[in-house]
Amino acid sequence: MTTATLPARAADFPRARAVLARGDRWFLRVLRGAALTLVAVVLGIFLEMSVSAWPAVRAFGVRFLTTSTWDPVAETFGAVPFLYGTLLSSLLALAVAVPLGIAAAIFLAELAPTWLRGPINFLTEMVAAVPSVVFGLWGIFVLAPLLRTWIQPALGSTLGFLPLFQGPPYGVGMLAAGIILAIMIVPYITAVSREVLLAVPNTQREAALAIGATRWETTRMAVLRYARPGLVGAVLLALGRALGETMAVTMVIGNRPEVAVSLFAPGYTMASVIANEFAEATSDLYLAALVEMGLLLFVVTVIVNGLARLLVWRVGGPVKQVRE
Partner 1 sequence: MNPRRRRLVNRLMSTLSAVAAVATILPLLLIFAFLLYQGASAINIDFFTRLPKPVGEVGGGMANAIVGSIILVGLAAVLGVPLGVLTGVYLAESRDSRLPWTARFLADVLNGVPSIVIGLFVYALLVLPMRRFSALAGAAALAMIMLPIVARTSEEMVRLVPASLREAALALGLPQWKVVLRVVLPTARAGIVTGVMVALARVAGETAPLLFTAFGNRFWHQGMDQPIAALPLQIFAYAIAPYDDWHRQAWAGALVLIVLVFLVSLTARLATRRRVGAMR
Residues between 117 and 156 with contacts to partner 1, criterion CB under 8 A:
120, 122-127, 129-138, 140-142
Question: Segment near partner 1 (CB under 8 A), from 30-38, 58-66, 148-156, 196-204?
Answer: 30-38
Regarding 288 and contact with partner 1 (CB under 8 A), the answer is: no
Touching partner 1, residues 184-203 (CB under 8 A) = 186-187, 190
Which burial class, exposed, middle or buried, applies to 154 when counting CB atoms under 10 A from its CB (0-12, 13-18, 19+)? middle
Any contact of residue 115 with partner 1 (CB under 8 A)? Answer: no
Window 231-260: residues binding partner 1 (CB under 8 A):
237, 240-241, 243-247, 251
Pick the stretch among 149-157, 197-205, 257-265, 292-300 that binds partner 1 (CB under 8 A): 292-300
Residue 42 or 91: the one with the smaller Cβ distance to partner 1 is 42
Sequence-distant (6+) residues with CB within 8 A of 223 are: 110, 197, 200, 204, 205
Closest CA to 262 of 173, 172, 158: 173
Phi-psi domain of 205 (left: phi exceeds 0; alpha: psi -120 through 50; beta: other): alpha
Residue 70, beta-bridge partner list: 77
When the beta carbons of 148 and 262 are compared against partner 1, the nearer one is: 148
Q: Which is nearer to partner 1, 167 or 181 (CB)?
A: 181
- Spatial CB neighbours of 62, under 8 Å, sequence gap ≥ 6: none
| Residue span 39-78 as binding mask against partner 1, x where in contact by CB under 8 A, dash where not | x-xx-xx--xx--x--------------------------
DSSP 133-183: HHHHHHIIIIIHHHIIIIIHHHHHHHHTTSGGG-S---SSSHHHHHHHHHH
Min dist CB 297 to partner 1, Å, is 6
Q: How near is the Cβ of 167 to partner 1 at its closest, in Å?
A: 23
Q: Which of 304, 311, 315, 316 binds partner 1 (CB under 8 A)?
A: 304
> Which class for 279: exposed (0-12), middle (13-18), buried (19 or more C-beta within 10 A)?
exposed
- Shortest Cβ 61–partner 1 spacing (Å): 21
Beta carbon nearer to partner 1, 174 or 297: 297
Q: Does 95 bind partner 1 (CB under 8 A)?
A: no
How many Å apart are CA 221 and CA 167, to the nearest integer?
A: 44
